[in-house]
Chains A and B, each alone.
Chain A
Amino acid sequence: MKNILKSIVAIVSVSIAFTSCNNGKSSKSNGALSSSAAEKVYVAPGEHDEFYAFISGGFSGQLAVYGLPSGRLFKVIPVFSQDAEKAYGYNEETKPLLNTSYGFIPWDDAHHPDISQTNGVLDGRWVFINGNNTPRIAKVDLTTFETTEIIEIPNSAGNHSSSYVTDNTEYVVAGTRFAVPVPQQDIAIKEYKGKFKGTLSFIKVDPDDGGMDIKFQLLMPGFDYDKAHPGRGKSDGWFFFTTYNTEEASTLLEVNASQNDKDFIAAINWRKIEEYVNNGGGKMMPTNYAHNVYDDQTHSATSTMKKEVLMVDPLEVPGAVYFLPTPKSPHGCDVDPTGEYIVGSGKLSANVTVHSFTKMLDAIENEKFAGEAYGIPILNFEDVLAGAVEQPGLGPLHTEFDGEGNAYTSFFISSEIVKWKLGTWEVLDRQPSFYSIGHLMIPGGNSQKPFGKYVLGMNKITKDRYLPTGPEVTQSAQLYDITGDKMQLLLDFPTVGEPHYAAGIPADLIKPNSKKIFNLEDNNHPYAAKTEADTKVVRDGKTVHVYMTTIRSHFAPDNIEGIRVGDKVYFHVTNLEQDYDVPHGISMIGANTSELLIMPGQTETFVWEPKQVGVWPFYCTDFCSALHQEMQGYVRVSPENSSTPLKWSLGEDIE
């Protein structure tokens, strides 16, 4: 009997498999029964994923690199956080990257990665990402997958409506969430209204090396600037920012910032302001912010304090700034690939509001204004409205596009993704998320050219989805196939930190550019030793510089004597390897820092302050070779006043 049952099950499965795959079309529409979710995400051993996904780590301050559709984690790139694994923020070379006007800040809240674009299409050169808490924008180089630049944003607080790039990466844009006194001053919090301001910063990007420089800041009314998006295609040249707290409350915002029926989307004609600035417009304002740049040839970062910024008063540039009334504290601010539709999702609204760029231009041309706020014209809601998705769900947040005329909006409260059609505003499909989705991402889904094969939902609440790990359970990301009429949930994978937002891109746009080694000949680190013959130990008072090299499987030198208690010993270690995927590590007993992890051709430095007399070992921390365990050495530490001569060697007295 049992056997018969089993056979029936087998027959049924076979027939399902046959019928479902008879034609490609039908398998697209019928969800999980028709085709195997497992097969769609299976990337066989040795094969590569089709997409890279750069998923921000939120409060971990990092950016994690995953493959899609497999959900495999490839690398965690430290950006605004120290990372003991890679010595980022621990070694002497990268510490300056975390410098700010407040000093060294080894943490931030990393939110919105955005990949550089050319002509509105992802070009895969850099990822920009914002630090919220101590306002900063970072650039990650996609040849090395390392953070190579961080610029602090002055006159900003809670750098949240950031870091989005324009169609040709002319600018990466950062807006303040908190309004603050500009410049900062000692005034009563109750003086908020009128005295507090919100700045929107336009950071010019060098087209050759991605170098960032604040071109100007726009001094806006003291609202909270929540999210932002550049115009695309026909609306290129404009930038849109959602605002909330147009009530300008400073306390109990959950009530006080929800009084107005509508807040605004601020529409900024940045090209007009750029022209104004290029013609000498704006006022230089004294300020203080850090600009930190890492150089691939010195393998070191430098931090420069900048002392002024160009401030633009929007009232001085007529026709550059308008307010579009948008219901109920809009959060997400998303522009469709054609640039016509500007989607504002009111957190507390039951509808998703869509504005029309054409209608906006028309209303501006006909000067149909409903009023003004601090001198900035407000357009009529009805004049700019393209349409609304009626009652699609609860708590709309963010929208991405598939390039086929469909939009996908995340709903936090009703915990789902809703697919709807641009133009008709009809709801086409809805799929639950597990649970309480925040952002969602389609590779290229915020550009002119989405690669609409998958949508990735990033969830805030996990609860029972994984094996429990105590009170904290990691956040999840969920991958859906969107090639059919209905979305199909394929995969649910854990992430690092809070997966706030992500940027996805076809792997082929990045893979060929990924660097394998650093050329040793190009190493311009001031303390590099490029051959074993160049290694030495130099004393300068109580400071000692060790010029050290690594090659499988030894350090040169590996025996050092003449170090004294109270010295400050800098180990400058150059990895002489010129072979792909052969870093060396080093750590010294009692060093108050992390290991170093040195890439082929690179030099890195750690500091050791010996506190005890004795003979102390160091070793290679990265399993580099068959003789990795032999890769070790000793430093003899003598008393502070001793006269032990300084001496270093490798391979003396081989038996």
Chain B
Amino acid sequence: MKHLFYAFALVALVYSCKNENKGASTNSTANQADTNKTERSGQAFITDDESRPTVLHIAIGSPDHTTLVAAVQAAELENALVNAGPLMVFAPTNEAFAALPEGTVENLLKPENKDALANILKYHVTPGNYSKDFLKKFKKLGQANNGYVQVEVVDGEPIIGGAKILASIPAGNGIVHVIDKVLLPPTEE
């Protein structure tokens, strides 16, 4: 009972002065609580039209990567992709996703498959920032899902897990290499 009463006293104190906050830059605790519960927040949601776009924003801005972006959003990986990184993202085109067996993408986008989807997406991310040419120095790359992807050099070009690099776009927090195949993590033995 006593505790209930104190709780009431506290609430009263917090709310009693609410009408004094005239909406300047400073907010009261009450206002703060309101903003936290509604929208998602984090570095992904900062507006910055001065810096070079992040790997996430490059993908969002590309008409060829709508499937990838939908997958990133479904897996809620936006904030990871704007992190200081460095992040090297191998970004399969819509066409690459379309080439997967029918129903694969739809299945992965289901909420219950969020972890599996995240695992696949993380397999497309290397902590690092290397140009296409520089990638030829590697034999394998360690990916963000803990797996490794093989790098071969065929006809003077680096082939990443069997995928060809179609274009490379430097990003604010790394680099995006557009690839023509979806990389599928090796299944566990």
Rounded to whole angstroms, the CA-CA distance of A87 and B9 in the bound complex is 53
Query: Once the chains bind, are B86 and A626 in contact (CB under 8 Å)?
Result: yes
Which residues of B, 99-153, contact A by the 8 Å Cβ criterion?
127-129, 131, 134, 137-139
> Is A7 positioned at the interface, with any CB of B under 8 Å from its CB?
yes
Q: A14-B9, A42-B28 are in contact. Are A577 and B85 (CB under 8 A)?
A: no
Query: Once the chains bind, are A627 and B128 in contact (CB under 8 Å)?
Result: yes
Task: Please name the residue on chain B nearest to A519 by beta carbon.
Answer: B50
Q: A42-B28, A44-B28, A627-B86 are in contact. Are A27 and B48 (CB under 8 A)?
A: no
Query: Once the chains bind, are B25 and A579 in contact (CB under 8 Å)?
Result: no
Query: Once the chains bind, are B26 and A552 in contact (CB under 8 Å)?
Result: no
Query: Once the chains bind, are B32 and A44 in contact (CB under 8 Å)?
Result: yes
B13 proximity list for chain A (CB < 8 A): 13-14, 17
What's the least CB distance linking A433 to chain B, in Å?
24
> Is A507 positioned at the interface, with any CB of B under 8 Å from its CB?
yes
Q: Which of A18, A27, A35, A515 sits near B50, CB closer than 8 Å?
A: A515
Query: Once the chains bind, are B9 and A10 in contact (CB under 8 Å)?
Result: yes
What's the least CB distance linking B8 to chain A, in Å?
8
Query: Once the chains bind, are A44 and B31 in contact (CB under 8 Å)?
Result: yes
Rounded to whole angstroms, the CA-CA distance of A35 and B51 in the bound complex is 43
Interface of chain B, main secondary structure: loop
Q: Mark A595-633, 1 if CB is under 8 A from B, else 0.
A: 000001000000000000000000000001111000000
Q: Mark A516-550, 1 if CB is under 8 A from B, else 0.
A: 11000000000000001000000000000000000
Query: Once the chains bind, are B139 and A17 in contact (CB under 8 Å)?
Result: no
> Is B62 positioned at the interface, with any CB of A under 8 Å from its CB?
no
Query: Once the chains bind, are A48 and B25 in contact (CB under 8 Å)?
Result: yes
A24 proximity list for chain B (CB < 8 A): 19-20
Q: Mark B61-72, 1 if CB is under 8 A from A, else 0.
A: 000000000000
Which residues of A, 546-560, contact B by the 8 Å Cβ criterion?
551-553
A48 proximity list for chain B (CB < 8 A): 25
A44 proximity list for chain B (CB < 8 A): 26-29, 31-32
> Is A39 positioned at the interface, with any CB of B under 8 Å from its CB?
yes
Query: Once the chains bind, are B86 and A655 in contact (CB under 8 Å)?
Result: no
User: Residue among A45, A516, A580, A652 with the most chain B CB within 10 A?
Assistant: A580
Q: Which of A39, A45, A46, A552 sits near B28, CB closer than 8 Å?
A: A39
B24 proximity list for chain A (CB < 8 A): 50
Query: Once the chains bind, are A21 and B26 in contact (CB under 8 Å)?
Result: no
Query: Once the chains bind, are A27 and B20 in contact (CB under 8 Å)?
Result: yes
Task: Please name the residue on chain B nearest to A511 by beta carbon.
Answer: B25
Rounded to whole angstroms, the CA-CA distance of A369 and B32 in the bound complex is 64
Rounded to whole angstroms, the CA-CA distance of A648 and B86 in the bound complex is 23
A-B interface pairs (CB < 8 A), number: 121
Query: Once the chains bind, are B9 and A49 in contact (CB under 8 Å)?
Result: no
Task: Please name the residue on chain A nearest to B13 by beta carbon.
Answer: A17
> Is A582 positioned at the interface, with any CB of B under 8 Å from its CB?
yes
Which residues of A, 16-44, contact B by the 8 Å Cβ criterion?
17-18, 20-21, 24, 27, 35-36, 39, 42-44
> Is A365 positioned at the interface, with any CB of B under 8 Å from its CB?
no
> Is B173 positioned at the interface, with any CB of A under 8 Å from its CB?
yes
Q: Mark B33-76, 1 if CB is under 8 A from A, else 0.
A: 00000000100000010111010000000000000000000000
> Is A654 positioned at the interface, with any CB of B under 8 Å from its CB?
yes
Query: Once the chains bind, are A69 and B52 in contact (CB under 8 Å)?
Result: no
Q: Which of A42, A49, A625, A651 sits near B84, CB closer than 8 Å?
A: A625
Q: Which of B20, B28, B29, B173 sits near A579, CB closer than 8 Å?
A: B173
Query: Once the chains bind, are B25 and A552 in contact (CB under 8 Å)?
Result: no
> Is A47 positioned at the interface, with any CB of B under 8 Å from its CB?
yes
Query: Once the chains bind, are B28 and A21 in contact (CB under 8 Å)?
Result: no
Query: Once the chains bind, are A18 and B12 in contact (CB under 8 Å)?
Result: yes
> Is A298 positioned at the interface, with any CB of B under 8 Å from its CB?
no
A551 proximity list for chain B (CB < 8 A): 86, 129
Query: Once the chains bind, are A651 and B26 in contact (CB under 8 Å)?
Result: no
Q: Mark A280-322, 1 if CB is under 8 A from B, else 0.
A: 0000000000000000000000000000000000000000000
Task: Please name the residue on chain B nearest to A9 by beta carbon.
Answer: B9
> Is A469 positioned at the interface, with any CB of B under 8 Å from its CB?
no
A641 proximity list for chain B (CB < 8 A): none
B20 proximity list for chain A (CB < 8 A): 21, 24, 27, 35
> Is A578 positioned at the interface, with any CB of B under 8 Å from its CB?
yes
> Is B174 positioned at the interface, with any CB of A under 8 Å from its CB?
yes
Query: Once the chains bind, are B26 and A49 in contact (CB under 8 Å)?
Result: yes
A36 proximity list for chain B (CB < 8 A): 17
A577 proximity list for chain B (CB < 8 A): 172
> Is A3 positioned at the interface, with any CB of B under 8 Å from its CB?
yes
Query: Once the chains bind, are B138 and A35 in contact (CB under 8 Å)?
Result: no
A579 proximity list for chain B (CB < 8 A): 51-52, 54, 84, 172-173
Query: Once the chains bind, are A553 and B172 in contact (CB under 8 Å)?
Result: no
User: Residue among A582, A625, A654 with the most chain B CB within 10 A?
Assistant: A625
Q: Which of A18, A46, A580, A654 sits near B51, CB closer than 8 Å?
A: A580
Query: Once the chains bind, are A47 and B32 in contact (CB under 8 Å)?
Result: yes
Query: Once the chains bind, are B32 and A578 in contact (CB under 8 Å)?
Result: no
Rounded to whole angstroms, the CA-CA distance of A627 and B83 in the bound complex is 12
Rounded to whole angstroms, the CA-CA distance of A50 and B85 in the bound complex is 32
Query: Once the chains bind, are A21 and B16 in contact (CB under 8 Å)?
Result: yes
Query: Once the chains bind, are A10 and B25 in contact (CB under 8 Å)?
Result: no
Task: Please name the residue on chain A nearest to B52 by beta carbon.
Answer: A578
What's the least CB distance linking A538 to chain B, in Å?
23
Rounded to whole angstroms, the CA-CA distance of A532 and B129 in the bound complex is 12
Rounded to whole angstroms, the CA-CA distance of A50 and B25 in the bound complex is 5
Q: Which of A10, A46, A552 sits near B173, CB closer than 8 Å?
A: A552
What's the least CB distance linking B99 to chain A, in Å?
31
What's the least CB distance linking B67 to chain A, in Å?
26
Task: Please name the residue on chain A nearest to B49 by beta carbon.
Answer: A516
Which residues of A, 628-655, contact B by the 8 Å Cβ criterion?
651-652, 654-655
User: Residue among B52, B134, B170 with the most chain A CB within 10 A?
Assistant: B52
Query: Once the chains bind, are B19 and A626 in contact (CB under 8 Å)?
Result: no
B6 proximity list for chain A (CB < 8 A): 10
B28 proximity list for chain A (CB < 8 A): 39, 42, 44
10 closest residue pairs by CB, A with B: A552-B86, A579-B172, A578-B52, A17-B16, A516-B50, A44-B32, A10-B9, A580-B51, A50-B25, A21-B17
Query: Which B residues contact A (CB, under 8 angstroms)?
Result: 2, 5-6, 9, 12-13, 16-17, 19-20, 24-29, 31-32, 41, 48, 50-52, 54, 83-86, 127-129, 131, 134, 137-139, 170, 172-174
Instruction: Given contacts A7-B2, A580-B48, list 11 more A-B pairs with CB under 8 A.
Output: A17-B12, A17-B13, A35-B20, A42-B28, A44-B27, A47-B26, A532-B134, A578-B52, A624-B84, A625-B84, A625-B85
Jot down 11 A-B pairs with beta carbons below 8 A, ordered by A: A14-B16, A17-B12, A39-B28, A69-B26, A516-B51, A579-B84, A579-B173, A600-B51, A625-B84, A651-B137, A655-B139
